[in-house]
Structure 1
């Protein structure tokens, strides 16, 4: 560029520079604001400028991109926009309370707009430290604190900032606050007014969602029919509004933060705030009552470390092939996150936090309501909601349900309970009995299906007030290696829980050796050593005791045979399963007809289940006609009853 051309540029710049305050000015003057002008001064000069022919000057001219417009078009300027160059640190700029950084408007028409504000005033930093207390990412003790457009912290804390301005009594500090307030009020007036109007009416628009979701605040959502609180971390917009939050969870060993992401789909116009899938906690109508309730729930959740035997009724979840599967269950459960994650593939990571002996109310508030464990009736590992957990109501006389021939019932009950309770209490009798490598009681229950084998194990567990873990041998796996792994897990968990183990179809694992079938021999060699070192009470149930390996006999403490049900036993089962209310609808002759059907206990239960469904469908009370119809349809092909 020629010296004459540079001189013209210098003369044109001088009037602008004269508008800047002199170096000796005090920074307490609220009108002293440094404005970095990025506009092209030359292009705004009204006088004509003589330019060399296009491309004739052998020099470079650096151009700088402004922010893209809303449709992605780019515009350019000769001066670098704020954020592209190193910040000015000259002594003159450092003496001002605020630095206002301007860039060309994205429309590209030459207008300027505020890009960011740098706070340097100690008065302001002191006030803002109180206003922005707890706001993530803001450290007011820094020498220079920068806030970028759209100034989210001030939108979220505008009421607090306004109150701090009104409460300030010092003249100098008040002047500095007014200085910042004036700049922000101009920039944010439309946003603040729009937000206040929407919130006053309980509504929000998609483009204003960011104004009500403040980082670090507590938010509320309903997940799987369960109200849950989270602490919001970050939000951003793609096609949807994405919210990333955290909550407190337990991985079986440690308590820590776990991430949770939720999406609010884009929508047109206004939408009720309360209809959003996640809302700021402060907007809930009964926030104080709900907060207290969730804190109490969190305190209860903290007590479920380790393992616990409880009753559960409600929604339960599991996953298969990446798909969530829901169940409605009503069962006794073992709550044990460590065992759940050892068996289940749904492992997760948490960020460790230092939870003191007295966690804060916010720790309790954002604690997950999810417990993980095993449903004893459904035989599934599931996620449970703590709201559905309750204490177990134990049956006072469980053996009353067990039907055995006269003279055998009492003897059986006495023997089984003597063995079970002695092992449980580790009495002298138990010590004499439990000689060998394992401290266990092994009972073999054999006989046809539906005659009381399972019920016997249930009664023992009920009397002892311990869980009954039922495992079908056929579900352990298809190879010796699979069976060993699955069975080893079961035999570790059962003693840990203090449970009674019922192994159904035990003959699968202990069949007589057959030279033509080495797999059966391999299973026996896997099972017997594991059985020997098992500690606890185990019932082996079998319908085919005659095929079992004789080597098992030395491991059995007691073997009990269950005969086929006679007519008197069947009548007793019909009466018990009908219950007092339904029993009144059946005459003595009708009960006599029913007992003549040669059914086992399980079959009688299934018949009554179908009959009750039929009665509900017909909107009538259960009667003999419903049971009779089911029996005729189900057993019409039998030659004899």
Structure 2
């Protein structure tokens, strides 16, 4: 046997060991070898080629019209770089200060900036620069002559073909589209035909808000393929300059962008219109007609995965930024109890019900409690309560217990307080929190942290399950009560608890409840008052005092009275007449017969 070869330890020799790719085998696969290839060609770009102002790479052409076509152009002339630096200023992806500047087919920058290129060439006075520019012009004009002529002819007629779609989309240009039924403007970043779908897919830039700052964000738009020519303004996306009312569209979008900008941060508003959310990457749409809390930061916190991650943040927006701002705002629909994306055009200021608290029907003996509740509300809304617990952060909340049968005004009390304070009312039922200790604790942590952030009034309806007296046999319920007590200890907002069984609450709650208000069953007088208030001045004249007395005799609670009137209104509207006692009587008779 021959003597075995001894190798140095791995990585110890300070030299380069070159390997070379082999030619493909019959299956098209390659490998690596130490053998130096014997079919190499000397590099074409060297000291000799660097002498020339331009290097033009030519490729074989198979379209039957010419033998060669230009593959790419390398600009080496300093005069040309300076000249093109002005012509191509602001064009994305081009840096004319580089030692080696290369343009590749189909030479999009020259197609998009052809007019500027020709005008600059005609105005060039320096002799040497002019000669270099003419040299480049001759090469590029011969290569792009047909494309530019076709583009100009199409645009002059307001149309475009699919294969030349890219010629009218210049990077950095404002483009227009209708998204979700709303006019939108974007900045065109890039566009290419998708080989699978055949669509002209566009990467577009616009202005977003992530809850704390403004910045740029990107979206994908697309133009489906089409045969022959299409009017430019019929495309799903097209440059704004081609819009017949481009000046008006620009002005309106800037105004909308300013309104959108003004709604950054926290706002409590009325909303009517479309809204949407996402589930498993699918868009789910809603129609919302309720009060909403606009709060993008909270939206991000409570919707992990749906948050906006902006690029290149901006301290202040210009009109150019407002033009391309999204119309979408994010927040919470209080009635629907959903985190949603809304549209700025559906937002309106709230019309406050100044008489909400006056219309609250309380037993005569408890009328003074109205003033007490009102004092708490005003104190909380103005933050004038300076009393705090010994431990910082404890005891800052105001907690009221409202007990009594359904439909006697418990919920209306909370609504009236929120209306006086002009803050959101966050309504929560025990079922919304879950039944296990862990889910209840997690839900309460979220809600009890966000409600004070909005300065909202929290109404926990039917809270008996969390307040019933603890006992030695029901450990699961005991845990729920203990968790709820601990959470209340650090709550800093205004909280209403409603209960149908106040006599069964745990004694530990007595020290935490500031006011306890018990609502008895409605009597004839209070029921008559509720009928009167729900009818209001607009319809009260159509009812006699005797008819109101008769309605007060009906043993209905406030919620039932409201539902009867709502149904009677629908009946009157269907008949095209004013609401009368007869309509109400018809609904009451139907109710009795059922």
Question: How far apart in 2 are the matches of 1:635 and 1:167?
Answer: 93
Does residue 462 (structure 1) correspond to residue 433 (structure 2)? The answer is: no
Question: How far apart in 1 are the matches of 2:455 and 2:465?
Answer: 25
- Please, which of 121, 127, 151 is the counterpart of residue 83 of structure 2? 127
- Please, which of 309, 321, 326 is the counterpart of residue 363 of structure 1? 321
Question: How far apart in 1 are the matches of 2:386 and 2:310?
Answer: 50
Does residue 200 (structure 1) correspond to residue 165 (structure 2)? The answer is: no
Deviation (angstroms), 1:179? 2.8
Any gaps of 5 or more consecutive residues in structure 1?
1-61, 64-79
**What TM-score does the superposition give when structure 2 sets the normalisation length?**
0.85
- Please, which of 524, 530, 540 is the counterpart of residue 573 of structure 1? 530
Aligned ranges 1:427-446 → 2 under 5 Å: 427=384, 437-446=394-403
Query: What whole-Å deviation, never above 9, does each CA across 1:455-492 have from its counterpart, x for those lacking one?
Result: 11122122222222222222112311011111111111
**What TM-score does the superposition give when structure 1 sets the normalisation length?**
0.79
Question: How far apart in 1 are the matches of 2:561 and 2:115?
Answer: 71
Counterpart in 2 of 1:243? 202
Kindly indicate whether the alpha-carbon contact (under 8 Å) linking 2:269 and 2:348 is maintained by their aligned counterparts in 1. yes
Deviation (angstroms), 1:494? 1.5
- Please, which of 362, 369, 373 is the counterpart of residue 412 of structure 1? 369
How many pairs does the alignment contain? Answer: 556
Query: What whole-Å deviation, never above 9, does each CA across 1:23-66 have from its counterpart, x for those lacking one?
Result: xxxxxxxxxxxxxxxxxxxxxxxxxxxxxxxxxxxxxxx99xxx
Deviation (angstroms), 1:244? 1.3
Question: How far apart in 1 are the matches of 2:256 and 2:481?
Answer: 48
Does residue 335 (structure 1) correspond to residue 297 (structure 2)? The answer is: no
Query: What whole-Å deviation, never above 9, does each CA across 1:560-583 have from its counterpart, x for those lacking one?
Result: 011222233333333333343344
- Please, which of 29, 50, 67 is the counterpart of residue 94 of structure 1? 50
Deviation (angstroms), 1:590? 4.5
Any gaps of 5 or more consecutive residues in structure 2?
1-22, 25-38
Kindly indicate whether the alpha-carbon contact (under 8 Å) linking 2:389 and 2:396 is maintained by their aligned counterparts in 1. no
Does residue 159 (structure 1) correspond to residue 115 (structure 2)? The answer is: yes
Question: How far apart in 2 are the matches of 1:305 and 1:115?
Answer: 50
Three-state SS of the structure 2 residue aligned to 1:630 is: helix
Question: How far apart in 1 are the matches of 2:132 and 2:559?
Answer: 84
Does residue 382 (structure 1) correspond to residue 340 (structure 2)? The answer is: yes
Counterpart in 2 of 1:480? 437
Deviation (angstroms), 1:538? 0.9
Counterpart in 2 of 1:308? 267
Deviation (angstroms), 1:159? 1.9
Counterpart in 1 of 2:165? 209
Task: Tell me which moved more, 212-221 or 442-451.
Answer: 212-221
CA RMSD in angstroms, aligned pairs only:
3.0
> CA, structure 1 residues 193+248, in 2 after alignment: closer, same or farther (shift >3 Å)?
same
Counterpart in 2 of 1:25? none
Deviation (angstroms), 1:406? 3.9
Three-state SS of the structure 1 residue aligned to 2:467 is: coil
Task: Tell me which moved more, 522-531 or 159-168.
Answer: 159-168
Question: How far apart in 1 are the matches of 2:185 and 2:580?
Answer: 50
Counterpart in 2 of 1:189? 145
- Please, which of 537, 553, 558 is the counterpart of residue 494 of structure 2? 537
Deviation (angstroms), 1:349? 5.1
Deviation (angstroms), 1:228? 2.5
Three-state SS of the structure 2 residue aligned to 1:327 is: strand
Whose Rg is larger?
1
> CA, structure 1 residues 619+286, in 2 after alignment: closer, same or farther (shift >3 Å)?
same
Counterpart in 2 of 1:403? 361
> CA, structure 1 residues 608+438, in 2 after alignment: closer, same or farther (shift >3 Å)?
same
Question: How far apart in 1 are the matches of 2:236 and 2:584?
Answer: 48
> CA, structure 1 residues 206+578, in 2 after alignment: closer, same or farther (shift >3 Å)?
farther
Counterpart in 2 of 1:266? 225
Query: What whole-Å deviation, never above 9, does each CA across 1:501-533 have from its counterpart, x for those lacking one?
Result: 111111121123354432211110110010011
